[in-house]
A and B are shown apart, each in its own frame.
Chain A
Amino acid sequence: MIRLTRRYPFSAAHVLARPDWSEARNRDVYGKCANPSGHGHNYVLEVTVRGALDPESGRLVPIERMDALVQRRVIEPLDHRFLNRDVPEFKSEVPTAENIARYAWRALKGELAPAVLDRVRLVETANNSVEYSEEGERS
């Protein structure tokens, strides 16, 4: 088995706040991230696939196809958007790094055959990142 990881940068704005909570509660739970006007990050999404090498091509998955899929399913819907306003999923779900990672996982899972989606890692700032995989899906 071999694993392959590609990095996909994108930039987006978000607010961490639940519409059904008071401003004070949102501020208490999410701190600075609850500022109603929003703020942005340069995110990096790392997508890792695993599987067997194709003996003829020597590749795990055609990279161009993987790139096109990630672009279409994840990067285009999120890049240079205000996540809470522009992405239907984040009207009901707070766009934390955790939830954005799950969004990417759901969008890509099962789509990269013959390779299998191994994990997605979302880097939100130089200081924090989250990682989601099948184990996370089960918990």
Chain B
Amino acid sequence: MLLTRRMEFSSSHRLWRGEWDDARNHAVFGRHAGPVSHGHNYELEVTVDGSVDGETGMVIDLKRLKDVMDAEIGERFDHRDLNDDTGLFERQQPTAEVFAGVIFGLLDRALPDGMLSYVTLRPTPDYEVEARR
């Protein structure tokens, strides 16, 4: 049984490689190019996979899943700048693709072994990326 919980958070980011010149950064990253950050209301769906407990009828306690998502994702990223405030994007760009992988890793560590199936990250309602093991 797959169970999915959704949350929203708002963060700012910029895409910029210091060793590239301005023209190349703008050519590759377009409107996402720095040096100034911009923001998104991110939507995140977290899907866990497990069997239904015979007594409780639950795959996972939704409150526990919410607490993990709040602690690992909400507190770390909500109303923060991904580049400046998190220490996670000094050597990699906070693109949706990279960010989804980072989120998968953080949640995978915090949830029971092997339970996390995939995460879907939507920086805007118009596009999404999915990260799995």
**Is B4 in the interface zone, CB < 8 Å from A?**
yes
**Is A111 in the interface zone, CB < 8 Å from B?**
no
Task: Indicate with 1 or 0, residue by residue over A59-97, a CB within 8 angstroms of chain B CB atoms.
Answer: 000000000000000000000000000000000011111
Asked if A29 contacts B56 (CB within 8 A), the reply is: yes
- Given A94-B57, A139-B51, A131–B1 Cβ distance below 8 Å? yes
In residues 114-139 of chain A, which contact B (Cβ within 8 Å)? Answer: 126-132, 136, 139
Asked if B1 contacts A130 (CB within 8 A), the reply is: yes
- Given A29-B61, A139-B51, A94–B56 Cβ distance below 8 Å? yes
Task: Enumerate chain A residues within 8 angstroms of B55, measured Cβ to Cβ.
Answer: 18
In residues 3-30 of chain A, which contact B (Cβ within 8 Å)? Answer: 16, 18, 29-30
Asked if B6 contacts A126 (CB within 8 A), the reply is: yes
Contacting residue for A128 out of B50, B56, B62, CB 8 A = B62
- The smallest beta-carbon distance between A79 and chain B, in angstroms, is 20
Task: Enumerate chain B residues within 8 angstroms of A102, measured Cβ to Cβ.
Answer: 1, 52
Count of interface residues, chain A, beta-carbon cutoff 8 Å: 23
**Is A99 in the interface zone, CB < 8 Å from B?**
yes
- Given A98-B52, A102-B52, A139-B51, A130–B4 Cβ distance below 8 Å? yes
- The smallest beta-carbon distance between B27 and chain A, in angstroms, is 39
Asked if A130 contacts B6 (CB within 8 A), the reply is: no
Asked if B1 contacts A136 (CB within 8 A), the reply is: yes
Asked if B5 contacts A128 (CB within 8 A), the reply is: yes
Asked if A136 contacts B56 (CB within 8 A), the reply is: no
Asked if A96 contacts B58 (CB within 8 A), the reply is: yes
**Is A101 in the interface zone, CB < 8 Å from B?**
yes
**Is B106 in the interface zone, CB < 8 Å from A?**
no
Task: Enumerate chain B residues within 8 angstroms of A130, measured Cβ to Cβ.
Answer: 1-4, 59
Contacting residue for A96 out of B47, B51, B57, CB 8 A = B57
- The smallest beta-carbon distance between B133 and chain A, in angstroms, is 15
Task: Enumerate chain B residues within 8 angstroms of A16, measured Cβ to Cβ.
Answer: 57
In residues 1-44 of chain B, which contact A (Cβ within 8 Å)? Answer: 1-7
**Is B91 in the interface zone, CB < 8 Å from A?**
no
CA of A98 to CA of B63, assembled, Å: 15
| Interface pairs (20), CB distance under 8 Å | A16-B57, A18-B56, A95-B57, A96-B52, A96-B56, A98-B1, A98-B59, A99-B52, A99-B57, A102-B52, A127-B5, A128-B3, A128-B6, A128-B62, A129-B3, A129-B4, A130-B2, A130-B4, A132-B2, A136-B2
